[in-house]
Amino acid sequence: MNKNSRPNIDRERHGPGTVYLVGAGPGDPGLLTVRGRELLHRCDVVVYDRLAAPCLPSDLDDEVVLHYVGKRADHHAMEQGKINDLLVRLAHEGKAVCRLKGGDPFVFGRGGEEAEQLQREGIPFEVVPGVTAGVAAAAYAGIPVTHRGEAVRVTLVTAHEDPAKPERQVDWRRLGSERDGTVVAYMPVANLDAVAAQMIDGGADPDTPAAMIERGTLPAQRTIVAPLHQLAAQVAAARIKPPALLIVGPTVALHQTLNWYRERPLRGRRVVVTRPADQARRLIATLQELGVTPLVCPAITTAPADPSELEPIGDRLGSYDWIFFTSENGVRYFFGLLAARGLDVRALAQARIATVGSGTAERLAAYHLNADFVPTAFRGEVLLNEFLQRVDASDASDASDASRASRVDNITALRILRVRGDRAPTTLEDGLRDAGAAVDTVLAYHIRSATVRPDVADTLVREGADAVTFTSGSSVAGFEKLVPDHQLHDCAVAVCIGPVTADAAAAAGWRNVVTATVSTVDGLIACVTKMLASLD
């Protein structure tokens, strides 16, 4: 989306410099509200937390500026006071700012503090509520926080109070003395022993059902259920880490019968997805369904070429016998160039079409066109060789009926248009010219290096990954430039869509390289799934 075409919501509603405090929900991107998603696509700047990162849409406009201000126990990317100052500065610059916060901005999200600062500075703001983790994570674990006859109230409480306060505000003994309710404690991992002990001292039955939910609503969700007095030991044994929630109350017992969100087969695995974000949605969604945490790290971005690229061939568009597409991007951007010049598929009425790969053919079908020739293997050199073999077969006097039916004509009589990106090799068009064909090329798109999101880079450094998926040699080169200091060559598997990409990965230093049997996104998914399932 071009920035100039993106509606400026500030000027429509409040004037320049509005800040939108948006709740991202607990982590599952599907729980982000419609209003929240709309604002993410329409604001100029997104200031986001660590727990909100999974909800960032992969198809955000490239011109949206991202500021990562995530916090974890041992590290703050930015202190809260500086976050407040950042929001004020961006608003004073006239930006439409989406402040994306995990859960709900006003439920242990410090959104109230940010709103107060904005109010003092005279900056207009809007609060977009989000689904709070205390309710959503419990629901994903099959635990109703209220239930007729068992829990008539729910208490949301923090288990991690400000250490600078002179005294504690949460009275865990009093909470332990209450009956017929559910206690939901945020940030409980570090203090779980003390919390459980104080609740029991206050009168809670030691056998009260209790649960710890790690990474609630995310693919790596885990739930530990135990009597209150045993929970801390079981949580420690399971090595539960933040983010996590503590649930205490009678309805926790329903987890066994209402737990609809089962652990996924590849839960806990991390896979880096380097494909351009706008093409990676199906890959990402499939990995999430399997329990994989995808680290979206597009290694390259693509952008359309200027429509003037068509000018040298404009008068000849209707004269080509064949058009060669070797990527989905080539199809998409070529027809964009046609549209920019007021043309459509009728300009190609006389041409037949050759493609590399089923994905490219499927993209072509979106324009109601079928590929006339698809090689048996999804590589440019195979397209060239098999195309030339068809030419030879069709010229032979004793050619079979099948060969004549699939004839490609005499190569020296053919006019061919090759559609390509600016970094594509010239092997295909050079081979066609060497064989005698008249070949023109059109540059349909540019490949550019991307920038890595700070939260993804932080995760790669701290936690690493099990695999990195590559769909082209450009994505391999782009990833090496994007994350030059990564330590993945020896410990992660490079899962490649085809042999050319695999060769590029090996040349870049990857020691463990596997190649999809079929060079498609589905083949890549099957390959990464099989590889991850084989890990201990």
Residues classed as catalytic = 49, 71
For residue 373, the 8-state DSSP code is: B
Residue 291 and residue 269: Cα distance in Å, rounded?
7
Rounded (10°) CA dihedral 513, 518, 521, 526: -70
Backbone phi, psi, residue 170, to 5°: -85, 125
Rg (CA), the chain: 28
Beta bridge partners of 419: 325, 442
Residues 6+ apart with CB under 8 A from 529: 266, 290
Strand segments, DSSP code E, in 19-164 are 19-23, 45-48, 65-68, 71-72, 75-76, 97-101, 125-128, 153-158
| 270-273 and 467-470 strand pairing | parallel
Backbone phi, psi, residue 390, to 5°: -65, -35
Backbone phi, psi, residue 468, to 5°: -130, 125
| 97-101 and 125-128 strand pairing | unpaired
Residue 12 and residue 195: Cα distance in Å, rounded?
49
Residue 524 · residue 497 · CB < 8 Å:
yes
Strand segments, DSSP code E, in 7-94 are 19-23, 45-48, 65-68, 71-72, 75-76
Residue 506 and residue 496: Cα distance in Å, rounded?
10
For residue 108, the 8-state DSSP code is: S
| 125-128 and 513-515 strand pairing | unpaired
Residue 422 and residue 429: Cα distance in Å, rounded?
14
Residues 6+ apart with CB under 8 A from 401: none
